[in-house]
């Protein structure tokens, strides 16, 4: 399980490292975004499913629904929420699998100290995954509360 978590961590951080290089190759960044989450606490115009931009007439592949000077903040916090959603589901699945495997090892372990040690280790890593799951919901909410 430890090797799997290390592998997932390496893949995740590699993606974060190289995604910036790939996305920075664009000629000009978009001056709009389609919101996936409700950001009305930042600006009343930042609603879920709407395309926000600083003004009309900017280069945007979508049709602009709302214009607001806080569009960048809305888009940034929305991106944080989207990343946190992915982290939530990945680590939720890891936690469920870790606890299921730990339960299996506890059942079949009998009195074998090695098997019970592996089960306890799985419970520990499952608990770490649960902490990450909780933080993946708490941190974006804290960021949203701070900036609004």
137 SS3 class? helix
What letter does residue 67 receive in the DSSP assignment? Answer: E
Average model confidence (pLDDT) across the chain: 85
Query: DSSP alpha helices (H): ranges in the chain?
Result: 2-23, 71-109, 113-147
Integer-rounded Cα radius of gyration of the chain: 21
Does the pLDDT at position 66 exceed 60?
Answer: yes
* pLDDT at residue 32 tops 80: yes
Mean pLDDT on 17-39 = 72
Q: Where are the domains of the chain?
A: 31-147
Would the pLDDT of 39 be above 80? Answer: yes
Q: Indicate if the pLDDT at residue 44 is higher than 80.
A: yes
User: How far apart are alpha carbons 19 and 30 in whole angstroms?
Assistant: 16
Q: Report the C-alpha gap between 101 and 84 in whole angstroms.
A: 25
Note if the pTM is more than 0.85: no
């Amino acid at each position: 399980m430890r090797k799997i978590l290390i592998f997932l961590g390496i893949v995740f951080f590699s993606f974060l490292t190289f995604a910036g290089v790939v996305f920075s190759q664009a000629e000009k960044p978009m001056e709009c975004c389609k919101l996936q989450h409700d950001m009305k606490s930042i600006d009343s115009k930042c609603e879920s499913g709407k395309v926000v931009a600083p003004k009309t007439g900017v280069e945007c592949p979508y049709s602009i629904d709302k214009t607001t000077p806080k569009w960048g903040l809305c888009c940034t916090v929305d991106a944080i929420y989207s990343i946190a959603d992915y982290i939530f589901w990945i680590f939720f699945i890891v936690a469920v699998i870790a606890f299921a495997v730990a339960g299996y090892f506890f059942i079949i372990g009998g009195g074998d100290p090695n098997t019970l040690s592996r089960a306890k280790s799985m419970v520990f890593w499952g608990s770490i995954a649960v902490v990450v799951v909780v933080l993946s919901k708490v941190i974006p909410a804290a960021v949203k509360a701070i900036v609004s």
